[in-house]
Amino acid sequence: MGSLPIYVLKSNTPSQIRQLLDDIYPRDSADPLKLALGEAKEAVNQVRNGHETVELSPQSAYI
The angle at the Cα of 22, spanning 11 to 59, to the nearest 5 degrees, equals: 75
Alpha-carbon gap, residue 19 to 25, rounded angstroms: 10
Instruction: Look at residues 32, 29, 27, 19 and name the one whose alpha carbon lies nearest to residue 60.
Output: 32
pTM above 0.85, yes or no: no
Per-residue pLDDT, 54: 93
**Overall average pLDDT of the 41-62 stretch:** 93
Query: Domain locations in the chain?
Result: 28-63
Q: How far apart are CA 22 and CA 24, in angstroms?
A: 6
Indicate if the pLDDT at residue 62 is higher than 70: yes
Note the pLDDT tens digit of each residue in 29-41. 678 888 899 999 9
- Contact 61/34 with Cβ under 8 angstroms? no
Which pLDDT tens digit goes with each residue over 20-30? 888 888 776 67
